[in-house]
A and B are shown apart, each in its own frame.
Chain A
C-alpha cells in the first residue's frame, strides 16, 4: 500500500488548511483529508503537499490516472523533490508498469529519497519484474538486509525471485526460506518455495512445505494447486484427493481444477479418465495441460499423440524446463538423438540444478559417444 512517509514540505508551504489536511490524513480520516487537500489545491495549484496527499489517496483507491496526474504535477513543480519520484515509481509498480517504475524509483534514488532501505527493495522488485534480475541483485547489494520483519522479508523475497530467474535454485530456496521466517503471512513466498522445490526435483520437501502452506492459506487457489502438484509427485502421498477438494472449494471454476482431477486419476492409474480431465483443462486454457497430456500419452505408448501435445505445449511455453526434459526424453526414446540433444540441453540451461535433466543429458551424451560430457552431467545428477 502506498503511504505518505513524509518529511513534509510545510516549511515551504505554510497554511492552516494544509496543516489540517495533513493531520486528517495521518489520523486516518481520509475523506476529510481529501476534501481539505482539494481546497488547498484549488486555492493554490502549486501546493506540492496538497498534490502529494491527493495522489496517495487516489493510489490507495487504485485511481491511477488521478494519482499519476498529481505526482507528475509535483515533479513539474519541484523537479528535485524525491518524494514525487518515489510515489510515482511506487504507483507504477502497483500498476505493473515495471520499466516506468524502474525509471522513477531510480530518479528517487538519485535525489536521495530518505528511506533508502524501502526504496532499494522496491526498485529491485521493479528491476526483477522488468526482466533484469542481475540488476535487481546488484541494487539489493547496496544495503544490508533491513532489520524490520516485513521489509527484511521483502528483501529476501525479491532476492529469491531474482535468483530464481537466474536459475540459482538452491540460493533462491534459501532466500525464500529466510523471507518466510520473517513474514510467514505472505502467500507468495510459500508458493514460490513449493514451486521451486518441485522444479528442482525435491518433491518430498515440496510436499512438506505445501502441507504447511495449505494449512496456512486454506482458500488460496494457487497454494492448493501447488499442494495437489506436490502430492502428485510423491508416490506415497495420500493427499491428492484432499488437495483437489480444497482447490474445488477455493476456486470451483479455475482451469486448474480439471488439471488436479487429471493428476489424481493418473495417480490412481485411471489413464482414460486422466486424459479426459487434462483435455478439459486444455480447453479451459490451463497451463501445462498439454504437457501432462503428452506425459500420459507417452506412458500409454502413443508417442505420436505425445509428441503432438508436447509440441503444442512448447508453442505455448518454450521456457519450461520440464517440457524440454519430457520432449527430450521422447526423442531419445525414439532414437532421434539430435532433437533430443537440443531439448535436453535446453532443459539443463533452464534448470541447471535439476538432477533429472542432467541425468538424461548424461545418458544421451554417452549414447552419442561423448564420454567426457556424459560423465560431467551424470556427476551433476547425483544429489548431495
Chain B
C-alpha cells in the first residue's frame, strides 16, 4: 500500500484558551480508506483502541484521502505514547478522534450509543441541539510574551501560533491596547489546512506601564475567533475565544 506523509496539528478538544494541549507533527501512514472493503457503504466507522477507547466518525471523513492510519511520526517509528503501533489521524479534527493504539475498525450502520463509545458533544443548555465535536475551531495563541511577563526594552516581537482545523488561517490580528484597536500580525509560514502556522508582530512599546495584549484569528472560510465563549455552552470543549495576556513594561 502506498504510504502518505501529512503534516497535522492535533489539539485536545478540552484545550483551554491559551492552553498547551496542542502539538504538530508529520505523520506517515496508509489511507484509512485503503483498509476498508471496496464495496462498503456503511455510513459510520468505529475506531477501536486496545485500551477500549473508541470513536465513531462518518464514512465521508473516514474515506477522505487525507485520513490515514499512521505508523510513523516525524520520520521515526510511532512512539508508544503517541499510539504505537498504529494511530488514526483524522486531519483537522480534534485529537479525541485520532485514536491511539488502533486495534480494529468496525463498520456501523448507525452511530453507536453503547457505553464504551465516548460520545463527546457540545451542549448549549437547550438553546440548540447538542452536536458531536468534530472539526477544530479557528484559534490563535501567544507563545510570547506570557501572562505576567515583564518587558525591559521598548521593542518586542510578539509571537504565537494559529490554526483552523480543516481550513487555512487567513488572518491573525493583535491588539496592544485592551482590544480597542487591532493590527495585522505577520504570518510566518504559508497557511495550510490541518497545520498550525507561526505568526509574529513587532511591537514598539510606547512607554512604561501595564498593557493588555490580545490575539484573534480568522480562517479562509470566514470563521472568526469569538471574543468570548458562548454563554449558553455547558460543555467543556472548543475553547477558542481570544487570548488575552497582561504584561508590564518597565
The residues of A with any CB-CB pair to B shorter than 8 Å are 185, 187, 215-220, 246, 249-250
Contacts and interface: CB of A to CB of B under 8 A. Distances in A.
Nearest to B157: A249
B151 A218 contact: yes
B7 interface: no
Contacts of A246: 144
A286 B146 CA distance: 30
B125 interface: no
16 contacts: A185-B248, A187-B150, A187-B152, A215-B144, A215-B145, A215-B146, A215-B149, A216-B150, A217-B149, A217-B150, A218-B145, A218-B146, A218-B156, A219-B152, A219-B156, A250-B153
Interface in B136-189: 144-146, 148-153, 156-157
Interface of B: 144-146, 148-153, 156-157, 248
A249 B157 CA distance: 8
B150 A185 contact: yes
A153 to B, nearest CB: 15
Contacts of B150: 185, 187, 216-217
Nearest to A220: B152
A187 B149 CA distance: 11
A216 B149 contact: yes
A311 B7 CA distance: 50
A250 B151 CA distance: 10
B104 to A, nearest CB: 35
Nearest to B155: A219
Most-contacted residue by chain B among A217, A218, A246 (CB, 10 A): A218
Nearest to B250: A185
A215 B156 CA distance: 13
What is the predominant secondary structure among interface residues of chain A facing chain B? Answer: helix
A170 B150 CA distance: 28
Contacts of A249: 156-157
B146 A219 contact: no
A353 to B, nearest CB: 30
A219 B248 CA distance: 12
Nearest to B143: A242
Contacts of B156: 218-219, 249
A285 to B, nearest CB: 22
Contacts of A217: 149-150, 152
A171 to B, nearest CB: 27
Given A215-B146, A219-B156, 17 more contacts: A187-B150, A215-B144, A215-B145, A215-B149, A216-B146, A216-B149, A217-B152, A218-B145, A218-B149, A218-B156, A219-B151, A219-B152, A219-B153, A220-B152, A249-B156, A249-B157, A250-B153
A246 B152 CA distance: 14
Contacts of A216: 146, 148-150
A297 B239 CA distance: 52
A218 B144 contact: yes
B24 to A, nearest CB: 14
A215 B245 CA distance: 12
A246 to B, nearest CB: 8
A249 B159 CA distance: 12
B93 to A, nearest CB: 27
Nearest to A184: B148
A223 to B, nearest CB: 9
Contacts of B151: 218-219
A172 to B, nearest CB: 23
A250 B248 CA distance: 16
Most-contacted residue by chain A among B146, B149, B150, B151 (CB, 10 A): B150
Contacts of B149: 215-218
Contacts of A219: 151-153, 156
Contacts of B153: 219, 250
Contacts of A250: 153
A217 B150 CA distance: 5
Contacts of A220: 152
